[in-house]
């Protein structure tokens, strides 16, 4: 059957056209286009595109997404007729893209047939389910004392340069073979940092299940603003298909600064610390999209690990307090611990997980029940012991156990541990099997112990079986 071609009809067609009133710093001021809507794409006559970001009585403000040198005042602007979308799907795995989905890795553009809007409503409460499955990061402290569940939003917070990105990178590397798809969003980072992250992922064979969304430090502020929403849309597609996903936002401090820059350029009134008043809503609508869906809606999950930077450990600053109130817990990294060689430099006393404990495996939950309290008590005792007073034998024994635990909790970068390894060291320490070791011997002995764990042991194996195997492996070490 031959399809009929609709004949051309001569007639009057009405279309809106505006003109550029001014341009600068990635922002275009446009007169006209009275029916323009927020987050709508508009096109310039030279082929550039923009995103409507502010509506005014006389002019509207637009973020330039692709800026050609031909954009000048007086240029005509017209509607494109659609909202900003990004291509999604499995073809993005292993790729490095910008917030618009264009490749940055020198390879041909991925063939994508599905698209999702960058801005989307968070799943309603009727579609959500309880967090019930653990998401293992491979970090001893996190997986045992500050556990994370699939669908949780766990904040990583601390000063610059003390291991926040390394902790998130470990979490991505540890998802190899666990059927969890990862999205890393790198916001406002220099090219050298981006290259280092990509090389670490490549060496760990983690790029096969990871998408990297990059908005570099020299990118337009609009790109840095859109980057986390692009990464969220990519992960949201897989979550709606019933897959488990992990999203890293590295970091939202630079994202907030980009939004502040855009807002001040658009002459919005500044608020606290010169941030616009809706910065809280901006981050909340981003992070609220992370959840676990009920089985009736696919059963997928999106776990978010946003990273935020503090200055001199100031937790009460504007953006950190906003994100602490939005998320389900925080992992706080302390610069003093980092300087003392305690890596990862996680402050166990100020870190908390408000949901993950409900998803923790019963065996690990039982074995780690008293570890946190023991460690915090040790820190207090160690503080008093510095005064040089004579200590009772019981106190000295607690200090010795605490020093041993501190050495056990240390972990090198890009060396995540399995959940079986977590349970092994928890039981070995909790049952006193390592008491005869000196703290400096703990790391070496523990590494040999974990390497020799038999494959027959699982998290569901009886505790007696675990202890029997551990005693046998440690017989010639202690």
Question: What is the separation of C-alpha 179 from the centre of its chain, rounded to a whole number of angstroms?
Answer: 18
Name the one residue in this structure whose structure tokens are 């970091």.
251
Query: Residues 361, 161: contact at Cβ < 8 Å?
Result: no
Helix axes 279-287, 252-265, angle to 10 degrees: 140
Helix axes 164-173, 191-203, angle to 10 degrees: 30
Residues acting as catalytic residues: 354
Query: Residues 263, 276: contact at Cβ < 8 Å?
Result: yes
Q: Both tokens of residue 12?
A: 């009057």
Half-sphere exposure of 109 (CA within 13 A, CB side): 10
Taking the CB of residue 157, how many other CB atoms lie within 10 A of it?
Answer: 25
The strand pairing partners of 182, in sequence order, are 210, 246
Helix axes 419-430, 393-409, angle to 10 degrees: 170
Q: Both tokens of residue 398?
A: 């607690």
């Amino acid at each position: 059957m031959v399809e009929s071609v609709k004949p051309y009809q001569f007639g009057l067609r009405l279309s809106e056209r505006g003109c550029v009133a001014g341009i600068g710093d990635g922002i275009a001021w446009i007169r006209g286009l009275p029916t323009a809507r927020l987050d709508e794409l508009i096109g310039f006559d030279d082929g550039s595109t923009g995103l409507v970001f502010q509506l005014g009585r006389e002019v509207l403000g637009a973020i330039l997404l692709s800026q050609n040198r031909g954009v000048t005042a007086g240029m005509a602007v017209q509607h494109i007729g659609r909202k900003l979308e990004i291509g999604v799907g499995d073809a993005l795995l292993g790729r490095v893209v910008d917030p618009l989905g264009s490749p940055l890795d020198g390879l041909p553009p991925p063939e994508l047939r599905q698209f999702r809007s960058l801005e989307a409503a968070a799943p309603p409460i009727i579609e959500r389910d309880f967090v019930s499955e653990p998401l293992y990061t491979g970090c001893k402290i996190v997986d045992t004392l500050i556990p994370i569940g699939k669908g949780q939003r766990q904040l990583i917070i601390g000063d610059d340069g003390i291991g926040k990105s390394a902790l998130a990178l470990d979490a991505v590397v540890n998802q190899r073979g666990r059927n969890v798809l990862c999205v890393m969003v790198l916001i406002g980072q220099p090219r050298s940092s981006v290259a280092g992250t990509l090389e670490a992922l490549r060496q760990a064979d983690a790029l096969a299940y990871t998408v990297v969304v990059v908005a570099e430090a020299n990118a337009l502020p609009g790109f840095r603003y859109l980057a986390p929403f692009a990464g969220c849309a990519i992960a949201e597609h897989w979550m709606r298909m019933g897959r488990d996903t992990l999203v890293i936002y590295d970091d939202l401090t630079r994202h907030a600064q980009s939004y502040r820059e855009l807002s001040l350029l658009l002459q919005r009134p500044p608020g606290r610390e010169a941030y616009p008043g809706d910065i809280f809503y901006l981050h909340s609508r981003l992070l609220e999209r992370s959840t676990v869906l009920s089985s009736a809606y696919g059963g997928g999950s999106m776990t978010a690990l946003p990273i935020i930077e503090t200055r001199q450990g100031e937790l009460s600053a504007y953006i950190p307090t906003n994100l602490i109130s939005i998320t389900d817990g925080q992992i706080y990294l302390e610069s003093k611990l980092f300087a003392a060689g305690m890596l990862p430099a996680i402050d166990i006393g100020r870190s908390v997980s408000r949901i993950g404990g409900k998803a923790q495996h019963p065996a690990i939950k039982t074995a780690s029940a008293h570890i946190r309290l023991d460690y915090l008590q040790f820190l207090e005792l160690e503080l008093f012991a510095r005064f040089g007073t004579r200590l009772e034998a019981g106190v000295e024994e607690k200090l010795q156990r605490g020093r041993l635990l501190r050495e056990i909790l240390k972990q090198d970068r890009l060396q995540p541990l399995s959940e079986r390894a977590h349970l092994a060291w928890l039981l070995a320490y909790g049952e006193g099997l390592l008491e005869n070791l000196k703290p400096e011997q703990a790391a070496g002995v523990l590494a040999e112990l974990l390497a020799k764990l038999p494959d027959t042991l699982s998290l569901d194996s009886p505790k007696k079986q675990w202890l029997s195997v551990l005693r046998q492996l440690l017989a010639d070490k202690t």
